[in-house]
Amino acid sequence: MHHAIPDASTSASRAEGSGRVSGRPAGPGCGDDQDMARARQVVARSLARYGRRPEHLLQHLIALQQQFSHVPTAGIDALTAALDVTHAQCEAAVAFYAFLHRSPRGHYDILLSDNITDRMLGNQRLMQLLCDRLGVDLGVPRVDGRVSVEFTSCTGMGDQAPALLVNGFAVTRLDDDRIRQIAALVETRVPLAHWPKEFFAVSNNVHQPGLLLRDLECRDAGLVALFARGPEAVLNELERSGLRGRGGAGFTTALKWRFCRETGDPQKVVVCNADEGEPGTFKDRVLLSAYADLVIEGMTLCAGVVGAREGFLYLRGEYRYLVEHLEAVLQRRRELGLLGAGIGAGIGAGNSFDFDIQIHLGAGAYICGEESALIESLEGKRGVTRKRPPYPVTAGYRERPTVVNNVETFLAAARIAEHGGYWFRSEGTDQSAGTKILSVSGDCARPGVYEVPFGTSVREVLAACGAEAVQAVQVSGAAGTTLAADGFDRVLAFEDLPTAGSFMVLGEGRDLLEMVRNFAAFFAHESCGFCTPCRVGGVLLRDLVEKVATGQASAHDLEELRHIGKVMRRASHCGLGHTAPNHVLQTLDRFPQIYRQRLKHTDYTPAFDLDAALAEARRLTGRDDRAAHLSADETEVLG
């Protein structure tokens, strides 16, 4: 798929015309009359598009970032004047999202994807080449303000890696030659719109379509069924199908929709979770590229069933290139009477309803895939997870009942409404009905999208994608399961190996500690910082893994890794912290040699006894209960 790249007026040359002076990047305080006027214009355009509700703050900040390569003070002033938001709220949001900045990035802001699969394909070397060619240091805009270069978390292009984002747009299939060309285009100030089209080509790579993907066409038969048979009948069909959410947690979709339908509040909301931030996953990108009508049909069906009028598609910032395509699909559906006011009236349905969808962009925060953080982000705030209950189905977006489903879940719901629950159940296992769409990447001949019935073994997927001499498979992303060869007969299913779809293959020659290192750094970076076990534990894990990798660790450090990992699993507030140590704990068990072979001391025990050192504090405070002892506390936390 070739996607539209902004023309000169909205890309690098636009930024170059912004009046920034070489060697004097405009800092946060730069706000003269001209800046203010331009910031007001950008904000006015964004207000016209999204409206004046403070919930849309993030979208306005993204608009400013895109226009100025940072969020200038003048922009924040314009926002606080136009919306009911404070400077502090704006600053907090900018500080939270990785793609927002208060000081300028380069006119060409380049972010190289840094998943382990990118590393396996040499992204570090390519980064070095790019930096050398451009004479720029990692993370620091060049002194003339022309370019900045940095790593970012997985950009969702694992099937055509290594990849990068330039001013938010994906460039795939990087090699030395492409990197040299990019450096030359930057040096000669060629606007992105004039870069070679093939740089921005994103292929779908659907190698194995199944029940859901075999048929590319969307006939809106699910919606027809809704009008012919009514919402209860559609819900019953969904119940019969046994469909469980495809975003990871596997909650029964019919139950979620029913809970929402049965709440009394008339202002319900439907949200499609297209944040797809799990390293190694990209199938939602493909579904939104090639099957967008079906996904939107699924959302519309959901709205018809639960009684919602408002919908959002929360699209990760890395997929910004899809916005134009998705807007066109939405617009076409409005013109066909399949979206907007009076859906169904055109086909004479007595039970027509109003429902429309807005696309909201994320700005580089993995935690925003978690549904409560996503809702916070939709409300324009930092993506910090909420306490649950209440769950979104009763109090979600603006406290209204909200269904949040994954892209694939909506697509499956549309197919089920068309073909029936038994059709879907005809594949899969008892507890995991239907098929699962996988994103396969890494050491295999045919990386791409594979739709397999639940119950398919890891070995079968490896055979299908042409993977040989495999050392390990990382199922369900960095937060998932690390499998050694003795686990390849396990099957993909909620009852055995649950997966949100990421399937990364690591061949025999790979150093698995590099994978652990990559994931540990990812989680330390992506923690939202709300709770201590994850915020601190993630950093400690990262640093200890680094200590092992650099040959400085002792056997005691491995015990520490286990200990911290278990505390994180047990005591973190949300799924990110619960799953972040999985890869460390599993590789310690399944691949102990990757740690042991690097230890500096295998017989080391710490000389310092922390519990004994606390004796004086216990004496002074008069406390000697179990909780006042480190070991007792640990026993309690670890169970």
Q: Applying CB under 6 A, which residues contact ligand FMN?
A: 245-249, 251, 273, 275-278, 367, 369-371, 404-406, 409, 574-576
How far is 531 from 509, CA to CA, in rounded Å? 38
Of ligand SF4, ligand FMN, none, which one does residue 439 interact with (CB within 5 to 8 Å by kind)?
none
| The only residue of 367, 374, 465, 505 in contact with ligand SF4, by rule CB under 6 A | 367
Of ligand FMN, ligand SF4, none, which one does residue 586 interact with (CB within 5 to 8 Å by kind)?
none
User: What angle, rounded to 10 degrees, do the helices at 73-82 and 87-96 form?
Assistant: 130
| The only residue of 396, 487, 577, 581 in contact with ligand SF4, by rule CB under 6 A | 577
Of ligand FMN, ligand SF4, none, which one does residue 369 interact with (CB within 5 to 8 Å by kind)?
ligand FMN
Sheet with 206-208, side-by-side order of all strands: 206-208, 448-453, 435-442, 502-507, 470-475, 481-484
- Residue pair 499/476 in contact (Cβ under 8 Å)? The answer is yes
How far is 184 from 190, CA to CA, in rounded Å? 9
242 vs 392, beta carbon nearer ligand SF4: 392
Q: Which two tokens stand for residue 204?
A: 């779908």
Using the rule CB under 6 A, is 583 a contact of ligand SF4? no
Report in angstroms how near the CB of residue 502 gets to ligand FMN at its nearest.
Answer: 10
Report in angstroms how near the CB of residue 231 gets to ligand FMN at its nearest.
Answer: 19
371 vs 427, beta carbon nearer ligand FMN: 371
Between the alpha carbon of residue 504 and those of residues 28, 119, 444, 467, 561, the distances in Å are 41, 13, 9, 11, 24
Using the rule CB under 6 A, is 520 a contact of ligand SF4? no
410 vs 530, beta carbon nearer ligand SF4: 530
Of ligand FMN, ligand SF4, none, which one does residue 276 interact with (CB within 5 to 8 Å by kind)?
ligand FMN
11 vs 385, beta carbon nearer ligand SF4: 385
From 269, 266, 240, select the one nearest 253 (Cα to Cα). Answer: 240
The dihedral through the CA atoms of 313, 319, 322, 324 has a sign that is: positive
| The only residue of 576, 588, 594, 599 in contact with ligand SF4, by rule CB under 6 A | 576
Report in angstroms how near the CB of residue 273 gets to ligand FMN at its nearest.
Answer: 4
405 vs 499, beta carbon nearer ligand FMN: 405
Using the rule CB under 6 A, is 500 a contact of ligand SF4? no
Report in angstroms how near the CB of residue 528 gets to ligand SF4 at its nearest.
Answer: 3
Residue nearest to ligand SF4 (CB): 577
How far is 464 from 404, CA to CA, in rounded Å? 32
31 vs 248, beta carbon nearer ligand SF4: 248
How far is 243 from 332, CA to CA, in rounded Å? 29
The dihedral through the CA atoms of 229, 235, 240, 243 has a sign that is: positive
The dihedral through the CA atoms of 536, 540, 543, 545 has a sign that is: negative
Of ligand FMN, ligand SF4, none, which one does residue 429 interact with (CB within 5 to 8 Å by kind)?
none
Using the rule CB under 6 A, is 527 a contact of ligand SF4? yes
Judged by CB under 6 A, the chain residues 12 through 51 that form the site for ligand SF4 are none
User: How many residues form the binding site for ligand SF4 (CB under 6 A)?
Assistant: 14
342 vs 529, beta carbon nearer ligand SF4: 529
251 vs 423, beta carbon nearer ligand FMN: 251
Per DSSP, what are the bridge partners of residue 507?
Answer: 470
| The only residue of 18, 572, 586, 587 in contact with ligand SF4, by rule CB under 6 A | 572
Report in angstroms how near the CB of residue 575 gets to ligand SF4 at its nearest.
Answer: 7
How far is 194 from 185, CA to CA, in rounded Å? 9
| The only residue of 385, 409, 439, 482 in contact with ligand SF4, by rule CB under 6 A | 385
Beta carbons within 8 Å of 81's beta carbon, 6+ residues apart: none
420 vs 575, beta carbon nearer ligand FMN: 575
Of ligand SF4, ligand FMN, none, which one does residue 534 interact with (CB within 5 to 8 Å by kind)?
ligand SF4
How many other CB atoms are found less than 10 A from the CB of residue 543?
A: 13
The alpha carbon of 596 is separated from its chain's Cα centroid by a whole number of angstroms, namely 33
How far is 559 from 544, CA to CA, in rounded Å? 10
Burial class (CB in 10 A: 0-12, 13-18, 19+), 354: middle
Using the contact rule CB under 6 A, the part of the chain among 271-279, 474-482, 541-549, 566-574 near ligand SF4 is: 566-574
219-234 burial: b if 16+ Cβ within 10 Å, else e: ebbbbebbbeeebeeb
Judged by CB under 6 A, the chain residues 314 through 353 that form the site for ligand SF4 are none
478 vs 561, beta carbon nearer ligand FMN: 478
Using the rule CB under 6 A, is 528 a contact of ligand SF4? yes
The DSSP call for residue 202 is: -
Using the contact rule CB under 6 A, the part of the chain among 11-19, 39-47, 72-80, 526-534 near ligand SF4 is: 526-534
Site string for ligand SF4, 529-558 (x = CB under 6 A): xxx--xx-----------------------
Of ligand SF4, ligand FMN, none, which one does residue 404 interact with (CB within 5 to 8 Å by kind)?
ligand FMN
Q: Which two tokens stand for residue 188?
A: 């000669």
DSSP assignment of 139-178: TS--TTSSEEEEEES--S-GGG-S-EEETTEEE-S--HHH
How far is 316 from 346, CA to CA, in rounded Å? 34
Where is 542: in which H helix or E strand? helix 532-549
120 vs 368, beta carbon nearer ligand FMN: 368
Burial class (CB in 10 A: 0-12, 13-18, 19+), 475: buried
Using the contact rule CB under 6 A, the part of the chain among 15-23, 210-218, 475-483, 572-580 near ligand SF4 is: 572-580
Provide the binding-site residues for ligand SF4, judged by CB under 6 A: 367, 385, 527-531, 534-535, 572-574, 576-577
